[in-house]
Structure 1
Amino acid sequence: MRLREHVVVVTGASSGIGRATAEAFARKGCAVVLAARREEALEATARECERHRGARTLVVPTDTTDAKAVDDLARRAVEEFGRIDVWVNNAAVNAFGRFEDVPLEDFRRVLDVNVMGYVHGARAALRVMREEGRGTLINISSIVGAVAQPYSHPYSMSKHAVQGLGSSLRQQLRVEGVKGIRVCTVMPATIDTPHFEQAANHTGRKVVAMPPVYSPERVARTVVDLVRHPHREVVVGPAGKALVRRSRKNPALAERAMARQTEKTHLSHEESAPATHGALHVPAPGEGAVHGGWGGRRRTALRRVAVYGLVGAGVAAAGRRIGRELSAA
């Protein structure tokens, strides 16, 4: 089947990676089913998608923590377009803070959206794909699914769970002899989206995007390519690739590198911030946006500087090795 004939469901399509992914599929002429909590933002995404010749859209406001709502999303997609070829689990939230300082209601909400939301999506998608005998399920994870971070404990936990979900589903399909359904996991590095401004924050410091920062379009291109050429796991961003490689060779070093970089560059040392639940429990107002204003489109020496910053005092030699790996990436 040609890509332009695919029917694609994208959760979290109101902003960031999800919105960029929906537009990327629309650009290829696919039918795109847009899901998120914010109907106004989904309608704005639909307008952008429909600018591309041949693209068709369906807006379905959905809270992915509601299993029935996700089942209804799948049903609406099939009713409108006849099938589901690709399902992208992307809707996710974050909460920053010391482990003891993040309210339990925020902790639970992150796990509910980022883990159970993906479970609901996978169950709904696989039910349809099994009937068709084919399909691609793509779970958007993160490099923190390989190397956890301080200050974002529930998010790190949730992305490790997404890695496990993808692996266990691939194994289940294999032992059942199902060959037409693919399960892929995408692990972006830091991406220029509104994610950081919309996160809950209990650190007392302003959350900023940890460099190097890459564009959401880069992730979207990866997702589209996976439909053509499926892979188990794909890391987006050279810095992320280097860190994940290092975590497999020397997990302790990777942890120290991530801890130092997070403390140094992920939370502002100059700007304070009041405690907020962000968009965890109530969606952010407005039409949404793909970018967060963090400069993900720029290709500058800042990326190389930040990569070397991953290692710092005490691990400088390993830093040079990571730098060489990045140059080859």
Structure 2
Amino acid sequence: MRDGRKIDKRRRGDSRQVVVITGASSGIGRETARRFARRGARLVLASRSASALETVAAECRELGADARVVPTDVTDEAAVKELAAHAVAAFGRIDVWVGNASVFAYGRFEDLPSDVFRQVLETNLMGQVHGVRAALPHLRRQRKGTLVLVASLYSRMGSPAISPYVTGKFAVLGFAECLRQELRGSGIRVRVVLPATTDTPVFRHAANYTGRKVRPLPPAVSPTRVARAIERASSRRRHNAFVGRVQTASLLVHDFAPRVFDAASSWQMRHIQLHGSLPEDSAGTVFSPPSAASPSTGGWRSGPLRAALAGTGIVAAAALLTRRGRR
């Protein structure tokens, strides 16, 4: 082991799940940590900010969990291997690895700095690759365990102004499918959770090179629903779990009427997701984390805001249909 300590045999025989969660300091990761904590799981929480993780770990301990904090940048492969080693040293095994770390960037492809584009891929895609590479040797020795990769509805369809995010999430889904095929019969499960727009702080933390303020496409699902899907993933036979029925239904339009989908997606980005003006470009938290833990929710599901965005969406749909009907 890294520090030479032997694994406590009592811990080796403990039946409580050992769960490693990356991106655990806010949003979906924070809510997932709480959900596993209520079940009494033994948690290893990772994100870039030690102080933010301590806040989440304290919440989990109050809920009955044994929670450990391992500050980790998932773009650093060696650090992610240390994270996996820490979990095994502390608890003897890894039952569930939740790859959840993610960052967001807005801007036309030609306006996004190349280092921002690359860093989004390093976090959202290579962070998942590093996590699987770190956890897999331990799961192989155990001959069991579950890899849960948090992807997105954007793993199945695109959108203007978020090309690095979409590119990374598409790749995560393909990576998971290859893993699933390679690990058949090994006792190791690969599960993918694909949330639609989720009410988390990620939109407030996003890099932004649009010149306008951003907000998520409604309706935003609760991070609690996504956390529930992550928690249940290891016991389900289904490989992929979509969260958010309304937006997931748009896959039908994407697959069978792509020209309609492209027109609607472009209109929604210009008139719903982008609004107002923003005087300065910002890299958000793409390169550095916020100093404090962010809440699980981003405040996008408040009653007045949901009503306003829903009304805008209805007007948008009516305008688009009217426009197409005149052609």
Aligned residues: 311
CA distance in structure 2 between the aligned counterparts of 1:185 and 1:309, rounded to whole angstroms: 34
Q: Is the 8 A contact 1:260 1:311 kept in 2?
A: no
Equivalent in the alignment of 1:59: 69
Q: Is the 8 A contact 1:191 1:296 kept in 2?
A: no
CA distance in structure 1 between the aligned counterparts of 2:224 and 2:190, rounded to whole angstroms: 21
1:281 aligns with 2:287: yes
1:34 aligns with 2:45: yes
Equivalent in the alignment of 2:81: 71
Equivalent in the alignment of 2:278: 272
Deviation string for 1:95-151 (max 9, x for gaps)?
Answer: 111111111110110011111111000111222111111111111111111111111
Cα 1:146–1:252, aligned 2, differ >3 Å: closer, same or farther? farther
Cα 1:303–1:264, aligned 2, differ >3 Å: closer, same or farther? closer
Q: Taking every aligned residue pair, what percent have the same amino acid on both sides?
A: 43
CA distance in structure 1 between the aligned counterparts of 2:268 and 2:167, rounded to whole angstroms: 19
CA distance in structure 2 between the aligned counterparts of 1:161 and 1:110, rounded to whole angstroms: 12
Q: Is the 8 A contact 2:219 2:306 kept in 1?
A: no
CA distance in structure 1 between the aligned counterparts of 2:162 and 2:176, rounded to whole angstroms: 22
Q: Does 26-35 or 68-77 show the bigger shift?
A: 26-35
Equivalent in the alignment of 1:206: 213
Cα 1:232–1:253, aligned 2, differ >3 Å: closer, same or farther? farther
Equivalent in the alignment of 2:142: 132
Post-superposition offset of 1:39: 0.5
Equivalent in the alignment of 2:5: none
CA distance in structure 2 between the aligned counterparts of 1:219 and 1:273, rounded to whole angstroms: 34
Q: How does 1:224-235 map to 2 (within 5 A)?
A: 224-235=231-242
Q: Is there any run of 5+ residues in structure 2 with no aligned partner, and where?
A: 1-13
1:117 aligns with 2:116: no
Q: Does 32-41 or 252-261 show the bigger shift?
A: 252-261
CA distance in structure 1 between the aligned counterparts of 2:230 and 2:222, rounded to whole angstroms: 13
SS in 1 for 2:183: helix
Q: Is the 8 A contact 1:200 1:280 kept in 2?
A: yes
CA distance in structure 2 between the aligned counterparts of 1:122 and 1:305, rounded to whole angstroms: 42
SS in 1 for 2:280: coil
Cα 1:25–1:303, aligned 2, differ >3 Å: closer, same or farther? farther
* Amino acid in structure 1 at the alignment position of 2:117: F
Post-superposition offset of 1:315: 4.6
Q: Does 248-257 or 185-194 show the bigger shift?
A: 248-257
SS in 2 for 1:88: strand
Cα 1:167–1:305, aligned 2, differ >3 Å: closer, same or farther? farther
Post-superposition offset of 1:213: 1.2
SS in 1 for 2:234: helix
Q: Is the 8 A contact 2:208 2:281 kept in 1?
A: yes
Equivalent in the alignment of 1:294: 300
Q: How does 1:134-153 map to 2 (within 5 A)?
A: 134-153=144-163
SS in 2 for 1:239: helix
Give the TM-score taking structure 2 as reference length: 0.88
SS in 1 for 2:169: helix
Q: Does 121-130 or 74-83 show the bigger shift?
A: 121-130
Cα 1:298–1:75, aligned 2, differ >3 Å: closer, same or farther? farther
Post-superposition offset of 1:81: 0.7
Cα 1:245–1:128, aligned 2, differ >3 Å: closer, same or farther? farther
SS in 2 for 1:57: strand
Q: Is the 8 A contact 2:218 2:310 kept in 1?
A: no
Equivalent in the alignment of 1:322: none
Query: Which of the numbers 145, 155, 173 marks the counterpart of 1:163?
Result: 173
Deviation string for 1:54-102 (max 9, x for gaps)?
Answer: x111100000000000000000000001100101111011111111111
Q: Does 211-220 or 298-307 show the bigger shift?
A: 298-307
1:240 aligns with 2:280: no
Equivalent in the alignment of 2:58: 47
CA distance in structure 1 between the aligned counterparts of 2:23 and 2:304, rounded to whole angstroms: 25
1:187 aligns with 2:194: yes
Q: Does 279-288 or 66-75 show the bigger shift?
A: 279-288
Q: Is the 8 A contact 1:4 1:30 kept in 2?
A: no
CA distance in structure 1 between the aligned counterparts of 2:193 and 2:302, rounded to whole angstroms: 18
CA distance in structure 2 between the aligned counterparts of 1:107 and 1:274, rounded to whole angstroms: 18
Give the TM-score taking structure 1 as reference length: 0.88
Q: Is the 8 A contact 1:8 1:30 kept in 2?
A: yes
CA distance in structure 2 between the aligned counterparts of 1:299 and 1:187, rounded to whole angstroms: 24
1:107 aligns with 2:117: yes
Post-superposition offset of 1:246: 3.2
Equivalent in the alignment of 1:6: 17
CA distance in structure 2 between the aligned counterparts of 1:131 and 1:230, rounded to whole angstroms: 22
Post-superposition offset of 1:253: 3.2
Post-superposition offset of 1:245: 3.6
Cα 1:230–1:45, aligned 2, differ >3 Å: closer, same or farther? farther
Q: Is there any run of 5+ residues in structure 1 with no aligned partner, and where?
A: 319-329
Please give the root-mean-square deviation of Cα atoms over the aligned residues, in Å. Answer: 2.4
Post-superposition offset of 1:18: 0.7
